[in-house]
Amino acid sequence: MTVVSVKQALAGMPGEGREVTVRGWVRTRRDSKAGLSFVHVSDGSCLAPIQAVVPADLPNYQDEVLHLTTGASVIVTGTLVTSQGKGQGFEIQASRIEVPGFVDDPETYPIQPKQHSMEFLREVAHLRPRTNLFGAVTRMRHTVMMAIHRFLTEQGFYWINTPIITTSDAEGAGDMFRLSTLDLANLPRDDQGKVDFRKDFFGREAFLTVSGQLNVEAYCLAMSKVYTFGPTFRAENSNTPRHLAEFWMVEPEIAFADLGDNADLAEAFLKAIFRTVLEERADDMAFFAQRVHPQAISRLEAFIAAPFERIEYTDAIGILEKSGKKFEYPVAWGVDLQTEHERYLVEEHVGRPVVVMNYPQEIKAFYMRLNDDGKTVAAMDVLAPGIGEIIGGAQREERLAQLDARMQRFGLDAETYAWYRDLRRYGTVPHAGFGLGFERLLCYICGIANIRDAIPYPRVAGSAEF
RNA sequence: GCCCGAAUAGCUCAGCUGGUUAGAGCACCUGACUGUUAAUCAGGGAGUCGUAGGUUCGAGUCCUACUUCGGGCGCCA
The pairing of beta strand A50-55 with beta strand A225-233? unpaired
pLDDT-derived band of residue A440, with 50, 70 and 90 as boundaries? Answer: very high
Chain segment A251-277, per-residue pLDDT in tens: 999 999 999 999 999 999 999 999 999
pLDDT of residue A171: 52
The CA–CA distances, whole Å, from A241 to A134, A233, A238, A362, A453 equal 17, 16, 9, 28, 9
Nearest residue to A72 via CA among A35, A31, A40: A40
Beta bridge partners of A52: A39, A92
Between the ranges A60-64, A143-147, A189-193, A298-302, where is the mean pLDDT highest?
A143-147
Please report which confidence band the pLDDT of residue A338 belongs to, taking 50, 70 and 90 as the band edges. confident
Buried b (16+ CB within 10 A) or exposed e, A411-443: ebeeeebeebbebbeeebebbbbbbbbbbbbbb
Closest residue (CA) to C1' of nucleotide B46 is A107
CB atoms within 10 A of CB A445: 28
Distance in Å from B37's C1' to A39's CA comes to 10
Name the nt closest to A462 by C-alpha to C1'.
Answer: B68
Taking the CA of residue A133 and the C1' sugar atom of nucleotide B68, their distance in angstroms comes to: 25
Indicate whether A408 pLDDT > 80.
Answer: yes
Query: What pLDDT was estimated at residue A41?
Result: 94
Contact of A206 with A179, CB cutoff 8 Å: yes
Does residue A35 register a pLDDT over 90?
A: no
Round and report the angstrom distance from CA (A1) to C1' (B20): 66
pLDDT at A83: 83
Residue A108 CA and nucleotide B45 C1' are separated, in Å, by 14
Quick check: A234 and A248 in contact, CB under 8 A?
no
* C1' of B76 to CA of A118 (Å): 24
Given the DSSP bridges, would you call strands A2-3 and A158-159 parallel, antiparallel or unpaired?
unpaired
Quote helix, strand, coil % in chain A, to nearest 5. 30, 25, 40
Ordered DSSP codes for A362-411: GGS-TTBPBPTTSSEEEEEEEEETTTEEEEEEEEB---HHHHHHHHHHTT
Q: For residue A290, which amino acid is it?
A: Q
Mean pLDDT (chain A) is: 92
Residue type, A299: R
User: A54 φ, ψ to 5°?
Assistant: -105, 115
> What is the per-residue burial (b if ≥16 Cβ within 10 Å, else e) of A329-358?
eebeeeeebeebbbbbbbbebbeebbbbbb
Let me know: does A421 contact A409? Beta carbons within 8 Å.
Answer: no
pLDDT score for A104: 87
Q: Nearest residue to B34, CA vs C1'?
A: A32
- For residues A447 and A289, what is the distance between their CA atoms, to the nearest angstrom? 8
Please name the residue whose C-alpha is nearest to the C1' of nucleotide B38: A114
Give the pLDDT score at A347. 85
> Which nucleotide comes closest to A123 if you measure CA to C1'?
B69
User: What is the per-residue pLDDT for A328?
Assistant: 81
pTM above 0.90, yes or no: yes
Res. A49: pLDDT tops 70: yes
Cα A335 → chain centroid: 29
Q: Which nucleotides of B are covered by protein (CB under 7 A)?
A: 1-3, 10-13, 26-29, 33-39, 45, 68-77
Which three-class secondary structure state does DSSP give residue A207? strand
Asked if residue A170 lies in contact with residue A210, where contact means CB atoms within 8 angstroms, the answer is yes
Percent of chain A's residues with pLDDT above 70 = 98
pLDDT greater than 80 at residue A169? no
Residue A331 clears pLDDT 70, i.e. is over it: yes
Least confident among A158-162, A227-231, A341-345? A341-345
Q: How confident is the model at residue A305 (pLDDT cuts 50, 70, 90)?
A: very high
A83-126, pLDDT tens digit by residue?
876 656 899 999 999 999 999 888 889 998 888 999 999 999 99
Model confidence pLDDT, tens digit, residues A205-252: 899 999 999 999 999 999 999 999 999 999 999 999 999 999 999 999
DSSP one-letter code for A128: G
Helix (H, G, I), strand (E, B) or coil at A326: coil
ipTM: 0.90
* Among the listed residues A371, A311, A303, the one whose alpha carbon sits nearest the alpha carbon of residue A341: A311
**Residue A88 Cα distances to A11, A40, A54, A85, A240, angstroms:** 10, 12, 17, 8, 41
Query: Averaged over A410-418, what is the pLDDT?
Result: 86
pLDDT of the residue at A172: 56
The reported pLDDT for the residue numbered A323 is: 85
Looking at per-residue confidence, does A114 or A353 come out higher?
A353
pLDDT given for residue A173 in this prediction: 54
The residue whose CA lies nearest the C1' of nucleotide B25 is A114
Confidence at residue A78, expressed as pLDDT on a 0 to 100 scale: 95
Of A368, A340, A337, residue with least CA distance to A355: A337
